[in-house]
Every structure is written in C-alpha cells, then in structure tokens.
Amino acid sequence: MPKPTQPIADKITLPTGFDLEIQTPCAMYVLTYQNKICQLRRDKTILNVGYKYQRNIWTDKGTALSQVKKLNKMFKTTLFGYKKIV
C-alpha cells in the first residue's frame, strides 16, 4: 500500500532538474519518552563521524506506531510513545 501523499502548497524546480515541494500535512507525530518529546542520537565517534540523529517525527500515524513498537522492543520498555502535533 503506497504512502498517502500530502497536500502540496508550492513547488520549484532546482537547477539539477529535481522538484522541491512544500507539503502541508494535516498532522505530525513526534517521538516521546516518558511523555516528553525526545530524539535519538547514534554515537559514531569511533568512526570519526561524530553523532547522527535518527528520525523522530513522521507524517503518518502507522509509521509512528511501528517505530514506537520497534524502540520499545529494542530498549525492553514501554516508555516510548508518540504525540500528535498540528
């Protein structure tokens, strides 16, 4: 099943030939931990790369739910969740 497309407010074509679109979803879902908005940081300093931040905001409720389930399983907890923001 394809991901639903979001309404497009504006669009430009970049010099490289690709389109850059401004989408206006009706809601966003953000990752929470203990009911506080959080983010995940992956330490890659051993590779001299520094830190990488994982995605913590989604436009699709199903994606947010599946990511929360994955993180709860990974950390062996039930403290991860998501909040709908408008």
Helix (H, G, I), strand (E, B) or coil at 25: coil
Q: CA angle at residue 69 from 66 to 72, to 5 degrees?
A: 150
Residue 21 has pLDDT above 90, yes or no: yes
Q: What is the pLDDT of residues 40-74, one digit of tens each?
A: 999 988 888 888 999 999 999 999 999 999 999 99
State pTM to two decimals: 0.77
C-alpha pair distances (Å), 19 with each of 10, 13, 24, 75 = 10, 4, 16, 39
Block residue for tokens 């330490």: 43
